[in-house]
Amino acid sequence: MSEAPFSFSNLRILFKQRMKFLLMSRMRLLIFVLVFLVSAGFGLHKFYVSKTIIEYNARTQLFEITTKLFTDDLDKAVSQLAGKEIRLGNSQEDPQANGFLEDYMKRHFSVVMDGVQTEWRWVGKETDNDLTFCYMEIYRTPVFSSLTVQNDLLISQFPDQQNIVDLSMSGSTQTLVFYKDKVLQTFQR
């Protein structure tokens, strides 16, 4: 078997073929990336999540509850309950917004300690850009073995809603995630 003699013209042809192959591979990769980015852009959808922190404050001997929600989502839910536009966080916010919001929270967020329903007290709300912070507190001793939370905030409006709840006491934090099929969960101590 004889081999083709080495020549620069053969090397040049091989080099051109290799460069063409690399260029085509990179073009295919670039086209794939562009198609992926464009299709992913069209598939973008809003995510639905809230964050609640239940924290025992030893100084005040209160459970302080802070719930952070997207204002536009919360406005939709509270307006639906009120039967009119509430416009949370807007300069034209309904004067009864706090009352409607408290009512909404009472219907969709509750706490039971050791099997006993615990009433929380509404402290108020703050709206900061696209987030609304709801503040509540519970006057209760921190001695309990189970704390059950019912949290179905925004789930009837947004079935993909996830509500994250942290319980912080004595330097440790437990976390539960609530969603459409799991709106009642228990923290154990």
Average pLDDT, integer, range 83-102:
95
Q: Is the pLDDT of residue 74 over 90?
A: yes
CB 118 within 8 A of CB 140: yes
Q: Is the pLDDT of residue 109 over 80?
A: yes
Minimum mean pLDDT range among 29-33, 150-154, 166-170: 29-33
Q: Is the pLDDT of residue 41 over 90?
A: no
Q: Is the pLDDT of residue 35 over 80?
A: no
pTM metric for this prediction: 0.76
pLDDT higher for 49 or 13? 49
What is the sign of the dihedral through the CA atoms of 147, 152, 153 and 158? positive
Contacts of 69 (CB under 8 A, 6+ apart): 50, 131, 132, 134, 153, 154
**Whole-number pLDDT of residue 146:** 96
CB 136 within 8 A of CB 110: no
Top mean pLDDT of 27-31, 128-132, 141-145, 148-152 is at 148-152
